[in-house]
C-alpha cells in the first residue's frame, strides 16, 4: 500500500463500454495495490475477510465499494481490497472487485424469497448431511441437493449421520446407480467416521447442507472445535431456535487444512433455474444416447431417445437404473417435489 494514498469511489467507477453491457472484471480500472482476500462471513453489509497467508494471515472487516452494489458478495468469494487492510480494531477496508468464481452455488427465487441468490462461491464439494433416523431421511431433499451440486459444478458427498439409530443399506441403495460417494458417522462414537470425513474434506472448500436436527452442528464442532456451533433444541435464553442467522460462515479446518462452509439458513434449494443439460453431463453414459432426442428434449418425455438407447443396451447393464435416477433428479427441479 502506498501510505497516504486515499481512494475514492472513482477508483472503481466502471468505464462505459460499447455494447453497454457490464464489463468483465479485467476491463475495470486496476487497483494495482489492492490486496486479495477471502470472504469468510457476511453480516448486515459488513464482510469478514481473511488477508495474507501463514503468519501474516489476519481477519479484516470490509464493506463493498458503491459500484459493486448490484453484485452480491458471498462467503467463498475471493475479492480485491483497498483502503485500510490492516485489520486493526475499528478499521474498515473496501472491496473493489470480485474475482472470477470457479463455482457458484445458487438458489432460484421462490415464494418466500423473490430473488435468485448466489449462496456460496468457489466451493468444490457439497456435503449433503442426512440422518438415517430422527429425523427420517428425505430422499427428495437429497435429490434436490444433488441437482444443486451438479448445477454448481461441485462434487457431492453424502454424509449419513446417526448410524447408531438405523442401518444405511436401504437408503444407500437408492443412490448406488448414481455412484455418489458416501460416508457414515455416529457422533456418539465417531470412530473411523470422523477420520474418513477429515480425509474427504482435506484441502477442499466444502459446503454442508442438511435439515435441522441431522447433526450438522455436532459434526462441525467435532471438525473445528473452536467454531462452537450451537447444538441442541432451543435456546434457553431467547426461547427461539438456535439458528436465527441465515448467513453462511466459512470455518478453517485444522491441519492439513481446507474449509467447511456451514449454511444454517439453507435447508434446500429452489432449482427452477437449472438447465437439464447441466445435469445430464454428469451422466456421460446416457448423454451419448441423446443424439436422437428432439430439440430441447427434457429427457423426461415420450419422444426422448434415451428409452430406446437404454433398451438396446447402449448404457450397459445398469442403463435402466441410471436412466431412472437421471429422471428422478430432473423431476427434483419441479417445485412440487420440494421437501
Ligand atoms: N443418536 C445420535 N444422535 C445424534 C448424532 N449426531 C447428533 N445427534 C443429536 O441430534 C441432535 C441434533 O444435532 P445438531 O448437531 O444440533 O443438529 P443440526 O443439524 O446442527 O441442527 P440445526 O442446528 O437445527 O441445524 C442433538 O441432540 C445431537 O446430540 C448421532 O450420530 N447419533
Ligand atoms: Zn431426451
pTM: 0.83
Residue 104 domain flag: no
Q: Is the CB of 218 under 6 A from ligand 1?
A: yes
Handedness of CA 47, 52, 54, 57 (dihedral sign): negative
* 197 and 148 share one domain: yes
Q: Is the CB of 184 under 6 A from ligand 1?
A: no
Strand runs labelled E in the chain: 35-43, 46-51, 58-64, 78-83, 93-98, 104-107, 117-121, 125-131, 155-161, 182-184, 205-209, 249-252, 259-262
Residue 228: what pLDDT?
66
Residue 269 domain flag: no
* 175 and 243 share one domain: yes
**How many independent structural domains does the chain possess?**
3
- Cα–Cα distances (Å) from 97 to 31, 64, 123, 152, 225, in that order, read 9, 9, 19, 22, 33
Ligand 1 atom nearest to CA at 185: 31
CA of 174 to the centre of ligand 2 (A): 22
Which residues make beta-bridge pairs with 62?
47, 93
d(CA 102, CA 332): 25
Q: Closest by alpha carbon to 286, among 298, 273, 299, 303?
A: 299
Helix H or strand E encompassing 243: none
Poorest-confidence range of 3-12, 64-73, 266-275? 3-12
Tell me whether the omega of the peptide bond preceding residue 38 falls within 30 degrees of 0, making it cis. no
* 134 and 251 share one domain: yes
Residue 129's CATH number: 3.40.50.300
Which residues constitute the domain of residue 56? 9-98
d(CA 98, CA 105): 16
Ligand 1 atom nearest to CA at 243: 23
Q: Is 297 annotated as a binding residue?
A: yes
Of the three residues 216, 238, 262, the one that is the final residue of a domain is 262
Poorest-confidence range of 17-31, 52-66, 194-208, 275-289? 17-31
Per residue in 140-183, pLDDT (tens digit) is: 889 889 999 999 999 999 999 999 999 999 999 989 889 999 99
Q: Which bound ligand lies closest to the C-alpha atom of 127? A: 1
CA of 229 to the centre of ligand 1 (A): 11
Give the pLDDT band (50/70/90) at residue 268: low
The pLDDT of 248-253, averaged and rounded, is 91
* 141 and 224 share one domain: yes
Q: Is the CB of 215 under 6 A from ligand 1?
A: yes
Amino acid at each position: 500500500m502506498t501510505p497516504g494514498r486515499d481512494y475514492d469511489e472513482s477508483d472503481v467507477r466502471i468505464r462505459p463500454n460499447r455494447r453497454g453491457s457490464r464489463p468483465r472484471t479485467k476491463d475495470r480500472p486496476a487497483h494495482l495495490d489492492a490486496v486479495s482476500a477471502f470472504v469468510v462471513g457476511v453480516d448486515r453489509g459488513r464482510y469478514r475477510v481473511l488477508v495474507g497467508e501463514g503468519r501474516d494471515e489476519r481477519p479484516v472487516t470490509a464493506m463493498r465499494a458503491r459500484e459493486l452494489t448490484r453484485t452480491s458478495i458471498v462467503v467463498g468469494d475471493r475479492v480485491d481490497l483497498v483502503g485500510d487492510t490492516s485489520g486493526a480494531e475499528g478499521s474498515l477496508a473496501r472491496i473493489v472487485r470480485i474475482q472470477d468464481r470457479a463455482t457458484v452455488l445458487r438458489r432460484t427465487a421462490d415464494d418466500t424469497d423473490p430473488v435468485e441468490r448466489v449462496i456460496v462461491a468457489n466451493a468444490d464439494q457439497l456435503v449433503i448431511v442426512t440422518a438415517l433416523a430422527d429425523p427420517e431421511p428425505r430422499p427428495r431433499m437429497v435429490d434436490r441437493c444433488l441437482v444443486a451440486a451438479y448445477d454448481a459444478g461441485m462434487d457431492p458427498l453424502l454424509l449419513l449421520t446417526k448410524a447408531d439409530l438405523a442401518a444405511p443399506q436401504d437408503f444407500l441403495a437408492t443412490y448406488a446407480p448414481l455412484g455418489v460417494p458416501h460416508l457414515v458417522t455416529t457422533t456418539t462414537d465417531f470412530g473411523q467416521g470422523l477420520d474418513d470425513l477429515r480425509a474427504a474434506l482435506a484441502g477442499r472448500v466444502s459446503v454442508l447442507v442438511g435439515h435441522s436436527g441431522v447433526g450438522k452442528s455436532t459434526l462441525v464442532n467435532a471438525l473445528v472445535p473452536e467454531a462452537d456451533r450451537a447444538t441442541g433444541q432451543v435456546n434457553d435464553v431467547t426461547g427461539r431456535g438456535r439458528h436465527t442467522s441465515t448467513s453462511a460462515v466459512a470455518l478453517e479446518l485444522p491441519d492439513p487444512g481446507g474449509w467447511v462452509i456451514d449454511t444454517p439458513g439453507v435447508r434446500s434449494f429452489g432449482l427452477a433455474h437449472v438447465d437439464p443439460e447441466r445435469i445430464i453431463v454428469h451422466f456421460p453414459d446416457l448423454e451419448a444416447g441423446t443424439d436422437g432426442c428432439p430439440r430441447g428434449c427434457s429427457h423426461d418425455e415420450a419422444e426422448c431417445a434415451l428409452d430406446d438407447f437404454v433398451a438396446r443396451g447402449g448404457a450397459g447393464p445398469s442403463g435402466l437404473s441410471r436412466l431412472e435416477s437421471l429422471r428422478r433428479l430432473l423431476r427434483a427441479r419441479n417445485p412440487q417435489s420440494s421437501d
